[in-house]
Amino acid sequence: MAYKYSIGGHTYAFTDLKTLLAKASPHRAGDVLAGVAAESYQERVAAQLALAEVPLRQFLQETIVPYEQDEVTRLIIDTHDAAAFASVQHFTAGELRDWLLSDAATTATLQALAKGLTPEMVAAVSKLMRNQDLISVARKCEVVTRFRNTLGLKGHLAVRLQPNHTTDDPKGIMASTLDGLLYGCGDAVIGINPATDSPAMTILLLQLLDQLRQQFDIPTQTCVLCHITTALQIMHKAPVDLVFQSIGGTAATNTSFGVSLSLLQEAYEGALSLNRGTLGQNVMYFETGQGSALSANAHFGCDQQTLETRAYAVARHFNPLLVNTVVGFIGPEYLYDGKQITRAALEDHCCGKLLGLPMGVDVCYTNHAAADQDDMDNLLTLLGVAGCNYIMGVPGADDIMLNYQSTSFHDAQYVRQVLGLRPAPEFEQWLYRQGITDLTGNLLPVPASHQLLGGM
C-alpha cells in the first residue's frame, strides 16, 4: 500500500513499505549507492513522520521482500509468535518507540516480547530513534547464552580473541593468543579467521586452539571461522566447538555466501550432536553487516539497515552463542565515515538485542573509510554503555590478515575499567587463578616464568 505525508503544500508519497523504510533511514552511503535514500532532509523526516503512523500489524501484512520468492521472508512470517506480539499489537511504530523508552518496558518484558517482533518492526522503530534512544533501549535488554561460560550478563563485557595471522602460522597464532589471554581477553571465543579456506589447515588450527584450552583449562570456546561447508566436512575429525557463518537478510544474499536455511540447519544439528558445550548448547556463531545484500546485488530495493535486521531473524532461528555485526569492515561505499559507522553499530546492536540476539559488535574501520581511532574510541565507549555482549580483541587493533582495524586488547581493558564492566564470570575467575588480574579485575604484571608462556 502507499503511504503519504504532507508538509507546506507538498505531499510526499511512498509507494510501499520498503520505500517508506528506506526513505526514513538516516543518511548513509550504501542507501545512496542503491538509489533508495531520501533525496532531501525534508523527505527523510516526512518519511519518518509517515512511518511513525504505520500500525505494527501492517508489517505482518506487507512484506518487503516477496514471501513466495524469499525463504528469509517465509521464516520471519511463519515463525512469528502471535502470543508474544499480543501486548504490542495495537501500537503504531511510533507508539512502540515511545513504549520501548518508557518504564513499562523492562528487561523482563522485552525478553518476553522478542519473538513477537519482526525485523522490519524493529528496523522501523530504530529509524525513529536518536543514538541516545538506541543506547537506552539496548541497555534494558539482556540476552544470555552459554557454551563453556556465561555470556551477556548485565555488567559484563566479553571479548573475542582474534589472533589472525597472514599465513596461518601456528606459532604466530599462538603468540597473539597468549598476548590476548595475558591481557584478559578471550572469554567470548578464541576465533581465527583463516587465511585460506583449506580443510586441512582448519583442522590443524582447531587442534592447536583446543589443545591450549584443555591444557590450561580455559573456560571458553574456540572457533576457526571457515565456511560452513568446510565445518560440516571436518566436524567429525576435528574439535569443532562452534559453527561459524556469515549471513545476510535475503535468501539471495545467503546464496552469495554459499548458504541456505537448510544448510544452516544441517550444520546446527551437526554441531549440537557433538555435544561439546558444558554449560549450554548455543553452538552457532554468526557474523553480519549492513551492506552485504547490496554487495551481492540481492537487496530488492530495500535499505541496508532493514535488511541487516532481517539477517538477525536468520540468526535467531539457530540459537547462536554469538552474533556480531562487522560494522565498519565493508567499507565507505556503505558506511562512509565515523558518524555513519557509529550510527549503524548502535542500530545493529539495539535491533539485534530487541530480537533476542546475543549481540556483539566488531568496532572497526578500513583504511579507505574516513574514520580513525578516535571514532572507534567513541563507538567503543557508547557500546559499553549500551550493554554490548562482546567486542573483538585484536593485537594493537591491527588485524594483519584481514587488513582492517578493530579494537585492541588494551581497548577492551579500557572500556571494562572506565565503565566497571567485567569478563564472563567463569573466565574472570580463571584470570584471577592464573594471576593475570587481581580481585577487582585490574591487570597484574605477569612474569616471563608464567605457565601460559611455558610452551613458547
Partner 1 sequence: MEDAWKYLQQFTTARIALGRTGTSIPLSEMLAFRMAHAHARDAVYSLLDVDGLQSVCSTVFRLPVRLLWSQAAHRDEYLQRPDKGRQLHPEAAALLEALPAADLHKDIAFVITDGLSATAVNVHALPLLSLAIPRLQALGFSLAPIHLVTQGRVAVGDPVGAFLQTRIVVVLIGERPGLSSPDSMGAYLTFAPAPGLTDVSRNCISNIRPAGLSYAAAADRLVYLLQQALRQGISGVHLKDDSIQETRLLE
Minimum distance from CB of 243 to partner 1 (Å)?
A: 15
Query: How many of the chain's residues bind partner 1 (CB under 8 A)?
Result: 70
Q: Does 197 help bind partner 1 (rule: CB under 8 A)?
A: yes
Residue with the three cell numbers 523508552? 101
The number of angstroms, rounded, from the C-alpha of 153 to the middle of its chain's C-alpha atoms is 16
Among 8, 9, 445, 454, binds partner 1 (CB under 8 A): 445
Give the span between the Cα atoms of 261 and 255, in whole angstroms: 10
Give the span between the Cα atoms of 382 and 86, in whole angstroms: 32
Options 64-72, 105-113, 174-182, 423-431: segment touching partner 1 (CB under 8 A): 174-182
Among 6, 15, 104, 169, binds partner 1 (CB under 8 A): 169
User: Strand 145-146 and strand 150-151: pairing?
Assistant: antiparallel
- Beta bridge pairs of residue 11: 6
Give the span between the Cα atoms of 189 and 213, in whole angstroms: 11
Options 6-14, 196-204, 378-386, 426-434: segment touching partner 1 (CB under 8 A): 196-204
Options 105-113, 152-160, 306-314, 326-334: segment touching partner 1 (CB under 8 A): 326-334
Options 11-19, 104-112, 264-272, 329-337: segment touching partner 1 (CB under 8 A): 329-337
Q: Does 178 help bind partner 1 (rule: CB under 8 A)?
A: yes
Q: Does 443 help bind partner 1 (rule: CB under 8 A)?
A: yes
Minimum distance from CB of 35 to partner 1 (Å)?
A: 10
Q: Does 179 help bind partner 1 (rule: CB under 8 A)?
A: yes
Residue with the three cell numbers 501500537? 91
Among 1, 13, 82, 453, binds partner 1 (CB under 8 A): 453
Kindly identify the residues of this chain, within the stretch 82-121, that bind partner 1 according to CB under 8 A: none
- Name the residue nearer to partner 1 (CB basis): 5 or 334: 334
Q: Does 237 help bind partner 1 (rule: CB under 8 A)?
A: no
Check the annotation: does 429 bind a ligand. Answer: no
Could you give the C-alpha distances from 367 to 86, 123, 286, 337, 372, in angstroms and in order?
A: 47, 29, 24, 11, 8
Check the annotation: does 275 bind a ligand. Answer: no
Could you give the C-alpha distances from 2 to 16, 18, 38, 51, 106, in angstroms and in order?
A: 5, 10, 16, 11, 34
Minimum distance from CB of 114 to partner 1 (Å)?
A: 31
Minimum distance from CB of 389 to partner 1 (Å)?
A: 21
Options 89-97, 117-125, 289-297, 319-327: segment touching partner 1 (CB under 8 A): 289-297
Check the annotation: does 170 bind a ligand. Answer: no
Check the annotation: does 245 bind a ligand. Answer: yes
Kindly identify the residues of this chain, within the stretch 353-392, that bind partner 1 according to CB under 8 A: 366-368, 372-373
Options 84-92, 158-166, 318-326, 425-433: segment touching partner 1 (CB under 8 A): 158-166
Among 379, 380, 397, 421, binds partner 1 (CB under 8 A): 397
- Name the residue nearer to partner 1 (CB basis): 305 or 405: 405
* Nearest to 328, CA basis, from 312, 310, 344: 344
Minimum distance from CB of 233 to partner 1 (Å)?
A: 8
Q: How many helices (H) and strands (E) does the chain have?
A: 21, 14
Give the span between the Cα atoms of 8 and 313, in whole angstroms: 39
Minimum distance from CB of 310 to partner 1 (Å)?
A: 18
Q: Does 229 help bind partner 1 (rule: CB under 8 A)?
A: yes
Check the annotation: does 295 bind a ligand. Answer: yes
Q: Does 395 help bind partner 1 (rule: CB under 8 A)?
A: yes
Name the grid cell of 191. Answer: 576465533
Check the annotation: does 287 bind a ligand. Answer: yes
Check the annotation: does 401 bind a ligand. Answer: yes
Check the annotation: does 160 bind a ligand. Answer: yes
Is there a contact between 348 and 311 (Cβ–Cβ < 8 Å)?
no
Q: Is the torsion defined by CA of 252, 256, 260, 261 positive or negative?
A: negative
Among 198, 281, 381, 429, binds partner 1 (CB under 8 A): 198
Could you give the C-alpha distances from 47 to 38, 52, 89, 306, in angstroms and in order?
A: 8, 8, 22, 15
Is there a contact between 293 and 304 (Cβ–Cβ < 8 Å)?
yes
Options 65-73, 133-141, 351-359, 413-421: segment touching partner 1 (CB under 8 A): 413-421
* Nearest to 183, CA basis, from 389, 423, 425: 423
Q: Packing angle between helix 131-140 and helix 93-101, nearest 10 degrees?
A: 60
- Beta bridge pairs of residue 361: 325
Number of residues that this document lists for the chain: 456
Give the span between the Cα atoms of 161 and 176, in whole angstroms: 9
DSSP line for 142-163? ---EESSSEE--TTB-EEEE--
Q: Does 199 help bind partner 1 (rule: CB under 8 A)?
A: yes
Give the span between the Cα atoms of 148 and 303, in whole angstroms: 37
Residues that bind partner 1 in the complex, under the rule CB under 8 A:
29, 32-33, 163-167, 169, 171-176, 178-179, 182, 195-201, 204, 227, 229-230, 255-258, 295-297, 331-333, 336, 366-368, 372-373, 394-405, 408, 410, 413-414, 417, 443, 445-448, 450, 453, 456
